[in-house]
């Protein structure tokens, strides 16, 4: 049974607001891929738009250019090994989903492969072609057209990091396979 529930588009930016490392999924012409990306951020709340850095040498970048779309999946702490693994090899010659036994769901709007098991959330994104920033900075802008999250950690538009959902808490790559887990909520005094 999936715990995933749709996230309203006006709340989609919140899924990556705190800087988690993400998995970028893509598909085109019968091929598909998944890679890790530490560099992503929202750029607009409404319409929900994001930017993600996808190196121009990657197979993902080829699939994204061809399909005009990608998925963003937000791995929980239980997927730290998988995240590092899919970030360390190319999918050009290997189907990493099959190799790692990753169960794939289908995004409702763009039909992209998205990952729910072990992930806190996913977003389906339509590329906004920006040739110059893609070339100069490997930075791809996109509009979020669908999103969903595991209700055990994100519901009613809000994250809830608790003692009982540590495996779903987001991971943040420091470099060289070292991640920190987000946790320990701090509330600002005048918030």
Q: Cα–Cα distance between 186 and 176 in angstroms, integer? A: 28
Residue 1 in contact with its own copies, rule: CB under 8 A: no
Termini Cα distance of the chain: 36
Work out how close the CB of 13 gets to its own copies at its nearest, in angstroms, rounded to a whole number.
9
Binding to its own copies (CB under 8 A) within 68-107 occurs at 77, 80-81, 83-85, 88
Among the residue ranges 25-33, 48-56, 67-75, 110-118, the one whose residues contact its own copies (CB under 8 A): 48-56
Looking up tokens 């809830």 gives: 160
Q: Residue 49 is encoded by which pair of tokens?
A: 């738009």
Shorter beta-carbon distance to its own copies: residue 30 or 184: 184
Report 112-131 residues binding its own copies (CB under 8 A). Answer: 130
| Residue span binding its own copies (CB under 8 A) among the ranges 2-10, 103-111, 112-120, 165-173 | 165-173
Q: Does 132 bind its own copies (CB under 8 A)?
A: yes
Q: Are 85 and 175 in contact (CB under 8 A)?
A: no
Piece in contact with its own copies (CB under 8 A), picked from 56-64, 99-107, 116-124, 173-181: 173-181
> Given the complex with its own copies, which of 99 and 178 has the nearer CB atom?
178
Strand blocks (E) in 47-90: 49-53, 69-75
Residue 91 phi, psi (nearest 5): -95, 10
Are 22 and 16 in contact by the 8 Å Cβ rule? The answer is: yes
Q: Residue 12: name the closest of 140, 117, 146 by CA.
A: 146
Distance CA 21, CA 128 (A): 21
| Contact residues for its own copies, defined by CB under 8 A | 14, 17-21, 38-44, 49, 51, 53, 77, 80-81, 83-85, 88, 130, 132-133, 137-139, 141, 158-159, 161, 171-191
């Amino acid at each position: 049974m999936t715990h995933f529930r749709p996230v309203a588009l006006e709340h989609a930016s919140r899924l990556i607001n705190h800087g988690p490392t993400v998995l970028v999924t893509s598909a085109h012409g019968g091929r598909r891929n998944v890679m890790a990306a530490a560099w992503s951020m929202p750029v607009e709340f409404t319409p929900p738009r994001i930017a993600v850095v996808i190196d121009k040498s990657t197979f993902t970048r080829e699939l994204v250019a061809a399909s005009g779309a990608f998925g963003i999946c937000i791995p929980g702490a239980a997927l730290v090994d998988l995240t590092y693994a899919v970030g360390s090899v190319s999918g050009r010659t290997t189907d990493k989903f099959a190799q790692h036994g990753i169960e794939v769901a289908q995004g409702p709007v763009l039909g992209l492969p998205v990952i729910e098991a072990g992930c806190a959330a996913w977003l389906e994104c339509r590329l906004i072609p920006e040739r110059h920033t893609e070339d100069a900075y490997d930075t791809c802008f996109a509009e979020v057209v669908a999103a969903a999250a595991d209700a055990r950690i994100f519901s009613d538009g809000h994250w809830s990091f608790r003692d009982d959902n540590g495996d779903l808490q987001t991971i943040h790559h420091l470099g060289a396979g070292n991640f920190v887990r987000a946790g320990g909520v701090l509330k600002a005094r005048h918030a």
